[in-house]
Amino acid sequence: MPEKRDYYEVLGVAREAGADEIKRAYRKGALKFHPDNFKGDKADGEARFKELSEAYEVLSDPEKRQIYDRHGHAGLRGRGVHDFSNMGFGDIFSMFEDIFGGMGGFGSGGRGRSGRGYDLETQVELSLEQAATGVDETLEFERMDYCETCSGTGAKPGTSPEPCKACRGYGKVQQQVPGFFGVSIRVTACPQCKGKGTIVTDPCGDCDGSGRARKKRVLTVRIPPGVRDGQVIRMRGEGEPGPAGGSRGDLHCYVRIRPHPLLSRRGDDLACQVPITFTQAALGGPVEVPTLAGPETLDVPAGSQTGDILTLKRRGMPNPRTRRTGDQYVQLFVEVPRKLTKRQRELLEELAQTEEKHVSEQRKSFFEKLKDYFTNGS
């Protein structure tokens, strides 16, 4: 998932902008990128429209804005920010009806027509070791849920919503729409009851008649072994309830895996670099290497060179589908000491003398090429 832009930058307002300025900026941008108006690439316009909507949801809410100003995007995890990437245009326009009210077709369509609730998103952060073994993680987040006082009806306890007189309880009305070929009839959601079919005359004091209240939700999600960074685990029915008793949306849990200090991941395989001394490279011997299960001893062959790769079978990550475990690749690099003791220098000088007498074929070839280059100029 790409990194999110700063919300103030998305809306094009200063950080000290007031509520009215933020609202105007959102309305202007949302109408610009609506598919009925945007003339460019439709996918790009849709992405920009949803980005604007997410920014407005946060900056128009004083509590969320304060958290964002202090902690950025990370501070909003589990705070009930909607997953706009999975919403239709109709869903988003209906969320901000106070801004787009009376705009006809702009408020219709999308998931809202099916009566399904909005999806939410949250995030969980794991170590590479946890990603390898799988783990049960406790999630805490907020969502709009049914008001406990009125059981979601919006009416004061002891009372009930009354049928809407404008639509006679149907939730829909017919509208005459002028067009090129004359006037046509279109069925739309009733503007009086907003499609509910009922009107709350004596609203619940705890939810102000909305039938919804913000609640904290705690649940456990099972992260499977081998999960990858950026993978999404969908928890069905853990989003917000739909209108008029419609089904709940889903919760999308994004997995983030912290970088490991010694190991890097390449698909199901792991890789690391291990330093060895000159003598270990020349003579061979055991060396300790890191693995997900802890340190492990690996035999370095005599004559190893910098860049040589050794393989530890089945020390990588498990594949969630095939259940095959990847390998771990260990790349060697020879460390040249920066400081030598007197005895170490003496020994290396003795070695250097033997190298002058017994030059390897590889080195001889290199020096012959070097001499020929400077002699012949090519």
Which one has a higher pLDDT value, 93 or 16?
16
Residue 108 in this model has a pLDDT that exceeds 50: no
Q: Which CATH superfamily is domain 264-336 in?
A: Urease metallochaperone UreE, N-terminal domain (2.60.260.20)
Residues 6 or more apart whose Cβ sits within 8 Å of residue 22: 11, 13, 56, 59, 60
**What is the CATH class of 120-161+200-259?**
mainly beta
Q: How far apart are CA 217 and CA 5, in angstroms?
A: 27
**Most confident segment among 20-24, 118-122, 291-295:** 291-295
Residue 98 in this model has a pLDDT that exceeds 80: no
Say if residues 80 and 143 touch (Cβ distance below 8 Å): yes
The predicted structure's pLDDT at residue 115: 67
The predicted structure's pLDDT at residue 94: 67
The predicted structure's pLDDT at residue 333: 94
Q: How far apart are CA 277 and CA 56, in angstroms?
A: 58
CATH architecture of 1-114: Orthogonal Bundle (1.10)
The predicted structure's pLDDT at residue 168: 84
**CATH 2.60.260.20 residue window(s) in the chain:** 120-161+200-259, 264-336
Rounded to the nearest integer, the mean pLDDT of the chain is: 85
Q: How far apart are CA 269 and CA 319, in angstroms?
A: 10
Of the pLDDT bands very low, low, confident and very high (cuts 50, 70, 90), residue 117 is confident
DSSP letter at 118 equals: P
The predicted structure's pLDDT at residue 90: 67
Residue 356 in this model has a pLDDT that exceeds 80: no
Stretch 133-153: mean pLDDT, rounded?
Answer: 92
Cross-strand partners of 216: 142
The predicted structure's pLDDT at residue 313: 96
